[in-house]
Structure 1
Amino acid sequence: MQTQASYTFSFLREHDIPALYDTFVAAFADYVIPIKVSREEFAMKFKREGVEPTFCAGAFYGGQLVGFILTGLGEWQGIPTAYNAGTGVLPEHRGNQLTKRLYEFLLPKLRESGVEQCLLEVIKGNAAAYKVYRSIGFGVVRTLDCYRSPVGELLLSGEEPEPTVDIRQAVKPDWKAYAGFCDISPSWQNTKEAFCRNPDQKLVLEAYAEEQLVGYVAFFPRTGAIAQLSVQQDNRNQGIAKALLKEAIKHTQAPALLLLNIDQTSTTLANFLERIHLKRFLTQHEMLLRLQ
């Protein structure tokens, strides 16, 4: 452990990103769920989550970046928001309250810039991080579940949807219509804005019954990550979501489907995912800090 007085804090710039990637990989190598990303995937994460380098706070020791907060900027439920897209500290520098000190450094700039709240997710069971965020003033707003299963283990066969459903690729996604199908708000990285920002290949498939739009799935074929999946309330339990996923799999290169940060209060979606054998592998707390 290093001495407290040795650290300096500054906001990052574009030329810091290569070092930031190296620090990110090293900081998350021993995480609860080890995170491995390529430089290309790291750049996609920046785009998808709206990360602004000049709002990312870095902790330096002897000129080396040893801790950071990645900050995404945008609106969350209509309010100017800073999203924590990742906090990391190198193992040998933990125990120096760097996360708390990074926030102390970051928050004045956020307030001056008109940001009204900070949002983040923390893994349930990561007691140390949870305790730090609580001490800064974050409170839990909801609990989110993550699901993943190999494509071959999913139960998507059975009777065809009734009425007959036509699955089409959306040329121009109708996000306003989709919002009317949803019982829950998507997490930061699954919003319409995040989906559209992501430079990775993406697809939206729509389900039509008697020429009426009744469901959709928005996903990333390369990774198998599903950002949004919903069916119009009156058309549920008719096999439409299954039909959408079956068609999505045909376009997916990844060996598994992945749904991150699904609001736990959506029992309808949770029950469906369990029925088709998508397995919950992680639970997170979504936390919010009001600045105004």
Structure 2
Amino acid sequence: MQDLELRKMNMCSFQTALQVWNEGFHGYFIDLTLSLDDFLRRIMSLGISPEHSFIAFVNGQPVGFLLNGIRESLGKRYAWNGGTGVIPSFRGKGVGKMLVQVALDLYSAESVDVAMLEAISTNESAIALYKKFGYEILEELVVLQSDALATDLVSSVFIITKLMPAAVGKLEFYREFSPWQCQWQSVAAGGGEAVIAVDADRRVAGYALFERKFDESGKPAKISMYQCEVAPERGDGELVAASLLRHVFMMETGNCKRLTHNLRKTNQVVIDLLTASGFTTFIEQVHMIRRLS
């Protein structure tokens, strides 16, 4: 496109970045409108790098963006597309394609091994665009939610032990390829927590990563769970999962928002337990990756 200019986000004001974020997601499947404070918190907690993110301009007007995060884990470098948007009047004009290509060029220059992103399952145009650039669907995801206390989960027969999120990342069965927001690094950066379930033989039977938010009066406002996984060799997976879920979602009483973030749909045991406890589907996504090395 003529007169299209790409600038790194660190060369733009945060107000400009917020403006194009809100306008770029106008009419989106869910409302992603943010205040400046919320936008800055999102950047910090999710490891978005302004130096590695881009804003597209036409004749000085911001018309699109692509936010990136890059991190290293277990000897591999991962990049995350943390949001791509184009303002309505410039959609269908190749801005998104150019942003995705520039991002891939950046990943190569930064020696990234795996690029990842999430897309809403019904956003067929975005999924098709990413597939054209070599991304493939790794797994399907679901966000479940409930405003009520989950009362149908069994009492724990395991010892539930609190750990630092980084310690969970060292477990043999930790899911390294979880969506970016669900990885222990993102949970830790957002002030989240981690617990493990330990059986009578002192073996780690499962783990959960989650975060609690409180309102100004100190009352619980939201509990977000990012991962709940059971050790693969267990024959009592449902009991392990139920014990972890009970701890995560019932440690705070009262009617606050309870939800899962991008829970993999193959984690059927956890989904069934939560559904039976009154959780419903809010939205479904796909987790897409492109291997660069």
TM-score computed with the length of structure 2 as normaliser:
0.83
Query: 142, 166, 185: which is aligned to 1:193?
Result: 185
Q: Which amino acid aligns with 2:268?
A: T
Please say if residues 71 and 84 of structure 1, whose CA atoms lie closer than 8 Å, have aligned partners that are also in contact. Answer: yes
For 1:72, which of 47, 69, 74 is the aligned residue? 69
Any residues of structure 2 matched to 1:98-247 within 5 Å, and which?
98-152=95-149, 154-156=150-152, 160-161=155-156, 164-170=157-163, 174-175=167-168, 178-180=171-173, 185-198=177-190, 201-210=191-200, 212=202, 213-222=204-213, 223-232=222-231, 233-238=234-239, 240-247=240-247
CA distance in 2, matches of 1:275, 1:129: 33
In 2 relative to 1, CA 291–206 (structure 1 residues): closer, same or farther, beyond 3 Å? closer
Task: Return the alpha-carbon distance in structure 2 between the equivalents of residues 24 and 252 of structure 1.
Answer: 35
The separation in 1 between residues aligned to 2:285 and 2:122, in whole angstroms, is: 9
Between the aligned partners of 2:114 and 2:166, the Cα distance in structure 1 is 29
- Tell me whether 7-16 or 257-266 shows the greater mean CA deviation: 7-16
Q: CA deviation at 1:23?
A: 1.5
Distance change in 2, residues 1:289/1:49 (3 Å): same
Note the residue ranges of structure 1 that are not aligned, 5 or more in a row: none
State the match for 1:287 in structure 2: 288
Question: 2 CA distance for matches of 1:285 and 1:218?
Answer: 20
The AA in structure 2 aligned to 1:196 is A
Contact 1:149 1:279 (C-alpha < 8 Å) held by counterparts = yes
Distance across 2 between alignment mates of 1:112 and 1:165: 47
Partner of 1:275: 276
Q: Distance in 1 between matches of 2:117 and 2:211?
A: 23
Distance across 1 between alignment mates of 2:268 and 2:230: 14
Distance 1:254 1:40 in 2: 26
SS in 2 for 1:44: helix
Q: How many residues align?
A: 281
Tell me the secondary structure at the aligned position of residue 221 of structure 1. Answer: strand
What is the Cα deviation at residue 177 of structure 1?
6.2
Amino acid at match of 1:202: G
Question: Are residues 166 and 76 of structure 1, via their aligned partners in 2, closer, same or farther at CA, if it must alter by over 3 Å?
Answer: closer
The alignment-based identity, stated in percent, is 22
Q: Per-residue deviation at 1:148?
A: 1.3
Normalising by structure 1, report the TM-score. Answer: 0.83
Q: Secondary structure at the match of 2:145?
A: strand
Question: Which shifted more, 19-28 or 242-251?
Answer: 242-251
Q: What SS does the aligned partner of 1:174 have?
A: helix
Letter in 2 for 1:191: Q
C-alpha deviation, 1:49, in angstroms: 2.7
Cα 1:156/1:40, change in 2 over 3 Å: farther
Where do 5+ consecutive residues of structure 2 fail to align? 214-221
Q: Shift of the alpha carbon at 1:22? A: 2.0
What is the alpha-carbon distance in structure 2 between the residues aligned to residue 176 and residue 137 of structure 1? 28
CA distance change for structure 1 residues 191 and 35 in 2, over 3 Å: closer, same or farther? same
Q: Is the 8 A contact 2:165 2:209 kept in 1?
A: no
Report deviation, 1:211. Answer: 7.7
Provide closer, same or farther for how the CA distance between residues 14 and 47 of structure 1 changes in structure 2, counting only shifts above 3 A: farther
Q: Secondary structure at the match of 2:2?
A: helix
| Match status 1:25 vs 2:17 | no
Change (3 A) 1:267 1:243: closer
